């Protein structure tokens, strides 16, 4: 049975969804209250009835955006039985799927945006990165236990390389408006994973 939300909860959820797109496209400092009011269709009091501050809303918006990204990625990977297959599937999915929230990768955007400005947002972005690293490390560990990859493979190193390569190629693709870097990254990562696969 679905969850029934009160009118206030529905309004709060709507604000978060709408604000997530604005913050992800414009950043924390670049997002004004007037833009949030226009996007949500609410006045200042209507927004701040549900959130203590702009920072409070930005954190909720990031958490929502990251949750959407995770759900989309995991739903795709749930259909793949082996951990090694999931690694390949995750690489393909990141390179091929559009962002779950307008503006691109919320993790990269928030990490860059909060680098010099907002320690609370930065902490949430760091936790999201930790979750992603942990997920990949777990896949590699499962593959090791199943004998799918070489015993000397390092889960933490592989996870770091995969994320750094994907996020770096995404930045280059967005900056140049050309997905060549993303295609190269996907090809390289598949070869890397194949290179540690037991024959």
Q: HSE on the CB side for 147, CA within 13 Å? A: 1
Q: How far apart are CA 199 and CA 194, in angstroms?
A: 9
Q: Are 95 and 185 in contact (CB under 8 A)?
A: yes
Q: For each of the chain's 199 residues, which pLDDT tens digit applies?
A: 456 668 878 999 999 999 999 999 999 989 999 999 999 999 999 999 999 999 999 999 999 999 998 898 888 899 999 999 999 999 998 877 667 788 888 999 999 887 767 899 999 999 999 999 999 999 999 999 999 999 889 999 999 999 999 999 999 998 999 989 999 999 999 999 999 988 6
Tokens of 165: 């390569």
Report field, pTM of the whole predicted structure over 0.85 = yes
Q: Are 14 and 40 in contact (CB under 8 A)?
A: yes
Q: Structural domains in the chain?
A: 62-195 (1.10.357.10)
Other C-beta atoms within 10 Å of 190: how many?
Answer: 15
């Amino acid at each position: 049975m679905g969850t029934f939300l009160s009118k206030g909860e529905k309004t709060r959820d709507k604000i978060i969804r709408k604000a997530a797109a604005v913050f992800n496209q414009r950043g924390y400092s670049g997002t004004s209250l007037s833009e949030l009011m226009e996007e949500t269709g609410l006045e200042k009091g209507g927004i701040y009835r549900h959130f203590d501050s702009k920072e409070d809303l930005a954190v909720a918006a990031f958490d929502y955006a990251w949750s959407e990204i995770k759900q989309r990625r995991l739903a795709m990977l749930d259909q793949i039985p082996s951990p090694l297959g999931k690694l390949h599937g995750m690489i393909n999915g990141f390179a091929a799927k559009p962002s779950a929230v307008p503006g691109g990768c919320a993790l990269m955007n928030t990490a860059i945006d909060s680098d010099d400005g907002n320690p609370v947002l930065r902490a949430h972005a760091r936790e999201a990165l930790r979750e992603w690293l942990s997920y990949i490390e777990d896949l590699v560990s499962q593959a090791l236990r199943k004998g799918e990859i070489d015993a000397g493979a390092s889960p933490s190193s592989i996870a770091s390389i995969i994320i750094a390569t994907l996020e770096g190629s995404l930045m280059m693709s967005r900056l140049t408006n050309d997905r060549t870097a993303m295609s190269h990254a996907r090809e390289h990562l598949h070869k890397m994973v194949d290179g540690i696969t037991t024959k």
